[in-house]
């Protein structure tokens, strides 16, 4: 009788441990996915800030090529997030990610095929800002350093880009 009871308790204990392990793994993967998005935001804001010098958008070809290259890498990072098996849960919390990929495709095409000079697209920045705000609201403890870095680069972005009104796609400009 005692052996059956011990056996039953062992089964219950293993079920409880398996449940909590699966739940921990699931939540851990969700947080890793959000870290991918935080990384993408950091890279986007950093790439954008690097396009500005003395309150003006740089006009040289190298800056434009580096910016396009960064946009492509950022797009790949977000696609990693979207391709994750835990994507559906993360998507519920940050749905802008798939829209950002589409917008990045438009912006990359626009810079490669249409626009001669570098332009900072207002819609892309708006989408990254929405994603940034949602990521900030999540307050991921595991990503505290990432979030601190993101806040720093976002602050520099606001000072260099927003304060100097350097966005392309406003009422007087047209962009994708």
Give yes or no for residue 15 having a pLDDT over 70: no
pLDDT at residue 92 greater than cutoff 90: no
DSSP per residue, 111-171: IIII-SS--EEHHHHHHHHHHHHHHHHH--GGGHHHHHHHHHHHHHHIIIIITTT-EETST
Are 128 and 100 spatial neighbours (Cβ–Cβ below 8 Å)? Answer: yes
The per-residue pLDDT for range 136-174, each reduced to its tens digit, is 776 555 556 666 777 777 787 777 777 667 766 533 333
Q: How far apart are CA 135 and CA 143, in angstroms?
A: 10
pTM summary value: 0.69
């Amino acid at each position: 009788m005692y052996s059956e009871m011990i056996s039953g308790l062992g089964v219950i204990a293993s079920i409880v441990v398996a449940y909590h392990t699966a739940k921990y793994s699931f939540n851990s993967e969700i947080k890793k996915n959000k870290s991918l998005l935080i990384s993408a935001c950091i890279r986007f804001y950093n790439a954008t800030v690097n396009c500005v010098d003395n309150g003006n958008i740089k006009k040289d070809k190298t800056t434009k090529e580096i910016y396009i290259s960064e946009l492509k890498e950022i797009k790949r990072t977000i696609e990693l997030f979207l391709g994750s098996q835990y994507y559906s849960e993360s998507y519920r919390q940050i749905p802008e990610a798939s829209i950002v990929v589409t917008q990045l495709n438009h912006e990359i095409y626009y810079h490669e095929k249409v626009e001669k000079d570098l332009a900072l697209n207002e819609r892309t920045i708006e989408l990254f800002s929405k994603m940034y705000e949602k990521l900030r609201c999540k307050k991921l403890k595991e990503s505290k350093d990432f979030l601190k870095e993101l806040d720093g680069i976002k602050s520099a972005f606001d000072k260099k880009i927003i304060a100097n009104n350097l966005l392309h796609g406003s009422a007087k400009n047209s962009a994708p």
